[in-house]
Structure 1
Amino acid sequence: MKALGDFLAIILFFVIYTTTKNIIWATIAATVVGVLQAAYTWLTVKKLSAMQWVSLVMVVGFGGLTILLDDPVYIMFKTTVICWLTGAAVLVAQLMGKNGVKLLMGSEITLPEKVWTNLSYAWAIFFFIMGLVNLAIAYPFTKEQVDVWAKYKMYGYIPLTLIFSIGQALYIAKFLPKETGE
């Protein structure tokens, strides 16, 4: 559900940017949505996960800098930082003997430990690559590059994440217990 909310924030950002060509208005909208998502989670669940706190701080911090300094570099770089922090968190957890992917999904499905490990490394690599791709698309972080970057966020980042997630689901499906037709 959180991923859907993240995508909605990206879609809102894109719609506002596309219709106004104003990165500041789009950033304000994305920042407000990020704060509202965190507030809603806090009110309904009474807590935020570590990654939700990091995401909130990043959205408010980088969004705030973009708004205050009228400079798109901060909001463009935010995606790379979040991807790399997420990838690092998954990788460090795995190397410390805790599988972050299993912690998130383990209560919902049962998989062999080797599959959880493979998923963990796959997600870490995916996030590092997505951070690099965002950096390559955003570079040289100019106002002229904003249009290219905004289109990537909508037509590249979201589809790539969905395709990777579907690939992971297909991989997981091979290891799920078979139901018996009794």
Structure 2
Amino acid sequence: MKQLLEFIPLILFFITYKLSGVRDAAIVLVIATILQMVILKWKYGAIEKQQKIMASAVVFFGLLTAYFNELRYLQWKVTIVNALFAIILLVAQFQFKIPLVKKLLGKEIKLPEQAWNKLNLGWAIFFIICMLVNIYISRNMSEEAWVDFKSFGLIGMTIIATLISAAYIYKYLPKDEQNNHKDGEN
């Protein structure tokens, strides 16, 4: 439910953009994002820091987009947010020697430190790639192409990055006891 709720503002933005244009889509995105935050707070009692950052960026750049009736402000948001995430991951890892991915997943998964570092670096590179692809599409393709990319391309890229991360993590997971028991019988 929580993951579905996170996509509703994007879906509403996409539909409104196709039906009514940039200004209306930006207004719908801002309102839906604010409602999303209210529902998350009401239903789960708290809003995660990443969700607060994203919502603040959506509201700020969405209002600029609506006011000036120009999509470029939302295009900047995607670039800035991805750059910010990459910088935070890289600074935490190389300056403070803390892979933030471990902070997020370390309670559920036990990995060697070098694996956490590689995973953290992989996600930083992913955010840089998203930023660069966003810049390329926003500068070289139509607004409609960018909206399609924002609505579906980034989600697809994130799913692929998540699957790659899962495959990477899988090799470090302990084998279940049943497999260990079968190995002992032979």
Give the shorter-chain TM-score range: 0.7 to 0.9
Query: How many Å apart are 1:103 and its aligned residue?
Result: 1.0
2:126 corresponding residue in structure 1 = 126
Q: 1:21-100 residue pairs with structure 2 within 5 A?
A: 21-95=20-94, 96-100=96-100
Deviates more, 1:144-153 or 1:112-121: 144-153
Q: Name the structure 2 match of 1:117.
A: 117
Q: Is the 8 A contact 2:23 2:67 kept in 1?
A: no
Q: Provide the rounded CA distance (Å) in 1 between the counterparts of 2:24 and 2:145.
A: 17
Q: TM-score, normalised by structure 1?
A: 0.87
Aligned to 1:161, which of 158, 163, 166? Answer: 158
Q: Equivalents in 1 of 2:97, 2:44: separation in Å?
A: 28
Separation in 1, partners of 2:35, 2:98: 31
How far apart are the structure 2 equivalents of 1:125 and 1:90? 10
Give 1:90 shift: 1.2
In 1, the alpha carbon distance for the partners of 2:87 and 2:49 equals: 13
Shift of 1:11: 2.7
Shift of 1:110: 1.3
The answer to whether the Cα contact below 8 Å between 1:51 and 1:86 also exists between their aligned partners in 2 is no
Aligned pair in 2 of structure 1 residues 39, 98: CA closer, same or farther (>3 Å)? farther
| Structure of greater Rg | 2
* Unpaired segments ≥5 residues, structure 2: 182-186
Q: Which has the higher contact order (CA 8 A, sep 6+)?
A: 1
Unaligned runs of 5+ in 1: none
Cα 1:89–1:3, aligned 2, differ >3 Å: closer, same or farther? farther
Q: Deviations over 1:42-66 (max 9, x none)?
A: 3344443432222122111100001
State the distance in 2 between where 1:3 and 1:171 align.
Answer: 23
| Matched ranges for 1:137-152 at <5 A | 137-139=137-139, 145-152=142-149
Secondary structure of the corresponding residue to residue 177 of structure 2: coil
Equivalenced residue count is 178
Partners of 1:49 and 1:101 in 2: CA distance: 15
**Aligned position for 1:11:** 11
After superposition, the CA RMSD in angstroms is 2.1
What's 1:170 paired with? Answer: 167
Partners of 1:111 and 1:159 lie apart in 2 by 26
CA separation in 2, counterparts of 1:4 and 1:86? 22
